[in-house]
Amino acid sequence: MILAIDSSQSSGSIALKSGDRVVYSANFDIKITHSETLMPAIDHAITFCGAAKKDLEAVYICNGPGSFTGLRIGLATAKGIAFGLNIPLYAFSSLQLCALPATGLGKNILGCIDAKMKEVYFALYSTDFQELIAPQVISPAELAKLDMGEFILCGSASPIMEPLLTASGAKFYPMNALLQIPNAAGLFMLGEFFPAQNTPRNIADLEPLYLRESTAQIRSKNQA
């Protein structure tokens, strides 16, 4: 059984896969910190499925970009479980995760996540999930100016981007709002889509993918 965790955004998600089947997935957005929800949610999921901790064979984690604190909590939880049970840890991108539902539909895919501080994280993919623009952080106004062809708009920053893209005359289709809720079960599919990425990560060295420095780091530098 494989455990997947995504706490890169305000809505957290966990999932369990047994054999080739997703047997459980849950999403929660209950305005308390991931550090209070993740472990109880994981514990419940394993018990609900009639399994035990010892049945876990690997942990998949979404390592960003996204919320600084959310990523730290998710990564710490995933590392702890992988370390404790002596099982491998795999890491995948939150931008790939949010773009995944729109693959195979014949259009490019803009995955974008609210980075706060008037910025968004984004990447552009082709319909067969090739990276056309690599992950980066940008202002919504700058992003709306890029030529991205005809594309499907995905991810938590969609409500921010939609009016700007409409104003810029972009040819795009917003993905149904239901799919803006992250689903950790997608991490299992990313492992199949990107075999090259699908290698165990060193538990000690694995860092969140931030794409920019945290507010605390910037403030600290400015004071130095």
Q: Backbone phi, then psi, for 103, in 5-degree steps?
A: -70, 150
Residue from 82, 73, 66 nearest 3 by CA: 82
The two tokens of residue 155 are 């991810």
Exactly one of 6, 24, 60, 81 binds a second copy (CB under 8 A); that residue is: 24
**Structure letter (DSSP) for residue 175:** P
With a CB cutoff of 8 Å and minimum separation 6, the contacts of 199 are 90
**Least CB distance to a second copy at residue 133 (A):** 21
**Least CB distance to a second copy at residue 126 (A):** 14
What residues numbered 191-220 form the site for a second copy, per CB under 8 A? none
Written as one letter, the residue type at 135 is: P
43 binds a second copy (CB under 8 A): no
Exactly one of 57, 141, 163, 173 binds a second copy (CB under 8 A); that residue is: 173
Parallel, antiparallel, or unpaired: how do β-strands 108-114 and 89-92 relate? unpaired
**Least CB distance to a second copy at residue 50 (A):** 7
55 binds a second copy (CB under 8 A): no
Q: Using the rule CB under 8 A, give the single segment among 132-140, 162-170, 179-187, 210-218 that binds a second copy.
A: 179-187
Of residues 106 and 195, the one with the C-beta less far from a second copy: 106
Of residues 24 and 68, the one with the C-beta less far from a second copy: 24
User: How many residues of this chain bind a second copy (CB under 8 A)?
Assistant: 39
Of residues 61 and 100, the one with the C-beta less far from a second copy: 100
For the residues of 88-117, what is the DSSP string, one character each? Answer: -EEEE-HHHHHHGGGTTSSSEEEEEEE-ST
The two tokens of residue 3 are 């455990």
Q: Using the rule CB under 8 A, give the single segment among 67-75, 82-90, 158-166, 168-176 that binds a second copy.
A: 168-176
Site string for a second copy, 77-116 (x = CB under 8 A): -----------------------xxxxxxxx---------
Torsion sign over Cα 2, 10, 135, 165: positive
37 binds a second copy (CB under 8 A): yes
22 binds a second copy (CB under 8 A): yes
SS3 78: helix
| CA distance between the termini of the chain | 48
Query: What is the rounded distance in angstroms from the CA atom of residue 127 to the CA atom of residue 152?
Result: 9
**Which residues bind to a second copy, rule: CB under 8 A?**
21-30, 32, 37, 40-41, 44, 48-50, 100-107, 152, 173-179, 181, 183, 185-186, 189
